[in-house]
A and B are shown apart, each in its own frame.
Chain A
Amino acid sequence: MTFEDLHLGSIVVSTVRNAPVLIFAAMAGLFAERSGVIDIGLEGKILASAFVSAAVAFTTQNPWYGILAGMAVSIALATLQGYVAVTQKGNQLVAGIAINIAMSGLTFVVAQYFFQQGGRTPDLGEARLPYVTLPGSEAVADVPVLGWIWTQLLGGHSVLVYAAFALVPLVHWVLYHTRFGLRLRACGENPHAADAAGVSVERTRYVAMLIAGFLCSFSGAYLAIVQSGFFLRDMSAGMGYLALTAMVFGNWRPFFTFLGCLMFGFFTAVQIQLEGVDLPVVGRIPGALIQMVPYVVTVIVLAGLMAKSVAPKAIGVPFVKSR
């Protein structure tokens, strides 16, 4: 492969395909964190739902059952986090890390038990989600530029990709234009004021965690059922943390968070494209160094923006009702 093979077009398409994992997780994190609960456990929920959805989709040969099963597991884990944060008033960071570590071990053990393939599930084959072909694709396929936009950029993705992009305005609407969204944000900024106004902080945070679990499950399902077509040990590879960083980048606002997800999707796309390419001047960059890119970008984003970004004020603080 040479430098000329680096197509901008395929980087753009692959950005669109990488982003949904991050978008679902980041939107999940938005609900949790705007309600005042830190969600470091996104990583573990992605991994757990990825495994369960791949395993169930393979066993039933139906991707939708897989998605449903992944949803159940992710919601269960989010409820556990909610229980620690709300009822136990425990350390939310520790709970998230515990879930991430536990799931890293458990998914391997269970995958090994059922499939005996070194912590991998068999290839899903037909049990993957179909790709959407937009109407008129054949007619425009040969038209330059327009054909590419219609068949590859806009069309030809799984239904979950469209769902991810449609989710962003929906989340914006829920957070900023509904009564529930207002209450949710109040719980994250000033839970005592919310409490005084008659909002149940505890119930709101539980509901926020349920939504977070629900949304995060799609991230894992997308990773396993759509992107890879199998489950692989530790396949989430830090996606949950990238989603969290996208949220910091986006100042805990849906549209800017979405831009952060696109940015990370872009860097991942570039990383995949750069692998094994002879670049001018520097030559071939070793794969190990290229794989560092998203993580280094995360650190730089956090170093550059954390001071300026405004986290929800009551984030991570257990709510103790004042008497």
Chain B
Amino acid sequence: MTTNDMPRWATSIVLPLLNLLSALLVAALVIYLLGEDPVESMQILINSAIVNPEGLSYTLFYASTFVFTGLAVSIAMQAGLFNIGAEGQMYIGGLGLTWAMIAFDASLPWFVLIPVGMVGAALFGALWAFIPGYLQAKRGSHIVVTTIMFNFIAAQLMNFIIVKYLIPQGEQNTASRVFSDAAALPPLNAWFPALGDTPLNISFFLAIIALVIYGVFVSRSSWGYKLRATGMNKHAAHYAGVKISAMIIATMLISGALAGLGAVNSIMGSTHYLSLNFTAGAGFVGIAIALMGRQHPVGIFLSAVLFGALIQGGFDLSLEKPNIPVETFIFIQGLIILFCGAMEYLYAPALIKLIKGKKA
């Protein structure tokens, strides 16, 4: 019995949960070594991220962004491409959105302005992913290294653009001007007052729509079939008539557009202006989400909510426990990528034995 003929519930539910648990155990050990109580920390985290309705609302707000970056990394992974560049693509997507807002936010009504902003974000994100995609397809440049370089380049470029062109005259804050009210995504607390004064907005529903579209396209369309064929065996896919280089470029365009859309929730749903480093690592969180959720829409959603909770709870935790700064969650993210991505079959042999033993 190999991992291939393990029952589906074992590979898609039990193994990821065991991996996640291992990552959290290592994190708990580190928290213990930092002189804090892991159990108490976990309680604070759950309380502030899930039990408290306002906290839960923040959790879902962060999750709405993470769904998009998670989808961006996932769709590239389906084609066998490891897109580390979602961070830079989202950052540049934010520029596209801001550009559209600064041009039109005084003249267009909200129901036109919001789609225009989304298109701007998606276009710029796609453009930023196009170059690494093109270089991979046509020149064979390794997409992992080029997308990482594009993250660094995006960070410096945005620094330059914000400082030179976007800061309004007389302001010190490294941010663009505030957009008009028409550019604000409708918040959900208008319908659910229990959510309190939180930025959770309709992009939560947009995220769910994006997940459904992704699921249908990847597993139910002929394009999705070609996509997965490319990822599984590109030589076989090529033999069957799939144009590999066109597939790589198209996938990277979609991936970049999805990452760019992640900026919509962060900017139009909350701050209403573009600020330096507004992405705050959401693109890297996308990598962990794609690996943990095994590129499945339901998995991506659950992982995005988990990371939303980690970020929200982690923020409150850092206020109460100065030894556990928010950077701890960057470490946990790395652990989750390690256990869920690189060592995903760590527990497979033991699990196979267990299942076999039961049947025998």
B337 adjacent to chain A (CB < 8 Å): yes
Q: Is the CB of A101 within 8 A of B145?
A: no
**With contacts A84-B342, A303-B135, A306-B139 known, is A98 near B337, CB below 8 A?**
yes
Q: Is the CB of A101 within 8 A of B337?
A: yes
**With contacts A119-B327, A295-B153, A302-B135 known, is A99 near B338, CB below 8 A?**
yes
B146 adjacent to chain A (CB < 8 Å): yes
B156 adjacent to chain A (CB < 8 Å): yes
Q: Is the CB of A241 within 8 A of B334?
A: no
**With contacts A105-B330, A112-B325 known, is A306 near B140, CB below 8 A?**
yes
Of B30, B160, B338, B343, the contact of A286 (CB 8 Å cutoff) = B160
Whole-angstrom CA separation of A98 from B325 in the bound complex: 19
- Residues 278-291 of chain B, each 1 if its beta carbon lies under 8 Å from chain A, else 0: 00000010010001
Q: Which residues of B contact A299 (CB under 8 A)?
A: 131, 135, 141, 146, 149-150, 153
Q: Is the CB of A303 within 8 A of B141?
A: yes
Residue of B nearest to A43 (CB): B148
Kindly provide the distance from the CB of B254 to the nearest chain A CB, expressed in whole angstroms. Answer: 21
**With contacts A109-B327, A109-B331 known, is A84 near B141, CB below 8 A?**
no
Residue of B nearest to A286 (CB): B160
Whole-angstrom CA separation of A286 from B162 in the bound complex: 12
Q: Which residues of B contact A291 (CB under 8 A)?
A: 156
**With contacts A286-B160, A286-B164, A288-B157 known, is A95 near B338, CB below 8 A?**
yes
- Residues 213-233 of chain B, each 1 if its beta carbon lies under 8 Å from chain A, else 0: 000000000000000000000
Of A104, A119, A241, A307, the contact of B139 (CB 8 Å cutoff) = A307
Residue of A nearest to B331 (CB): A105
Q: Is the CB of B338 within 8 A of A102?
A: yes
Of A90, A119, A237, A248, the contact of B342 (CB 8 Å cutoff) = A90
Count class of interface residues, chain B:
35 or more
Q: Is the CB of A289 within 8 A of B325?
A: no
Q: Is the CB of A94 within 8 A of B331?
A: no
**With contacts A90-B342, A302-B142 known, is A295 near B149, CB below 8 A?**
yes
Q: Is the CB of A108 within 8 A of B325?
A: yes
B110 adjacent to chain A (CB < 8 Å): no
Whole-angstrom CA separation of A299 from B325 in the bound complex: 34
B345 adjacent to chain A (CB < 8 Å): yes
A49 adjacent to chain B (CB < 8 Å): no
Kindly provide the distance from the CB of A313 to the nearest chain B CB, expressed in whole angstroms. Answer: 15
Q: Is the CB of B145 within 8 A of A298?
A: yes
A88 adjacent to chain B (CB < 8 Å): yes
Q: Is the CB of B156 within 8 A of A289?
A: yes
A140 adjacent to chain B (CB < 8 Å): no
Q: Is the CB of A288 within 8 A of B159?
A: yes
Kindly provide the distance from the CB of A118 to the nearest chain B CB, expressed in whole angstroms. Answer: 10
Q: Is the CB of A90 within 8 A of B331?
A: no
B82 adjacent to chain A (CB < 8 Å): yes
Whole-angstrom CA separation of A102 from B334 in the bound complex: 4
Query: Which of B82, B131, B152, B284 neighbours the largest number of chain A CB atoms within 10 Å of its CB?
Result: B152
Of A91, A103, A241, A288, the contact of B145 (CB 8 Å cutoff) = A241
Give B320-335 interface residues, CB cut-off 8 Å to A: 323-325, 327-335
**With contacts A245-B145, A292-B157 known, is A97 near B287, CB below 8 A?**
yes
Q: Which residues of A contact B160 (CB under 8 A)?
A: 286, 288-289
Q: Which residues of A contact B334 (CB under 8 A)?
A: 98-106
**With contacts A91-B342, A288-B160 known, is A303 near B328, CB below 8 A?**
no
Q: Which residues of B contact A12 (CB under 8 A)?
A: none
Residues in B lying within 8 Å of A, measured CB to CB: 30, 34, 82, 84, 131, 135, 139-142, 144-146, 148-150, 152-153, 156-157, 159-160, 163-164, 284, 287, 291, 323-325, 327-335, 337-338, 341-346
List the 5 shortest-distance A-B pairs measured between CB atoms, nearest first: A102-B334, A105-B330, A105-B331, A95-B342, A98-B338
